[in-house]
Structure 1
């Protein structure tokens, strides 16, 4: 009579179950800190985030200024659909 063997917990035949998930963690915090430091170094000491935001707002004002009637209609549809935020001046900023 053969001795009774308990099945291995990994697989019914005692072999490891290849479908079992293996967990592992990756810590990217050191890499992220290096990346941020490199970005700030590339921007340089004269970088002014407030001035950059002002410049972007001015660029958007120019982008949506001087629209012809068809462009204005499309702009209004996009604002109504929530695709674009309403700009001060209603898309009619001075160029």
Structure 2
């Protein structure tokens, strides 16, 4: 080390991940295949969410609402009816 500068041996390294990220995304889409239907997937997720939180009893509904209010669960359209 010269002059006692502790940063003297440090080197700046820059990595641009843009190209790698684009390649990764393309590989993910290719792996999903031609039969992948994003709309059907989203509809399935909504149906699963509806089923998961349907039929809750009074105590479960109160806890569900607390979790939504606290930001633990995302608010959903119709939440005031979905948990009954």
Shorter-chain TM band: 0.7 to 0.9
1:70 is the counterpart of 2:53: no
CA offset digits 1:2-35 (Å, max 9, x no partner): xxxxxxxx626xxxx3423421211222322221
Q: Which has the larger radius of gyration?
A: 1
Distance in 2 of aligned mates of 1:74 and 1:37 = 41
Distance in 1 of aligned mates of 2:56 and 2:62 = 9
Alignment of 1:14-93 (within 5 A): 17-20=5-8, 21-84=10-73, 85-90=75-80, 91-92=82-83
More RCO (CA 8 Å, sep 6+): 2
Residue 89 of structure 1 and its aligned partner are, at CA, apart by 5.0
Unaligned runs of 5+ in 2: none
Unaligned runs of 5+ in 1: 1-9
Residue 64 of structure 1 and its aligned partner are, at CA, apart by 0.6
What secondary structure does 1:51 align onto? helix
Residue 56 of structure 1 and its aligned partner are, at CA, apart by 0.7
Q: TM-score, normalised to structure 2's length? A: 0.74
CA root-mean-square deviation: 2.2
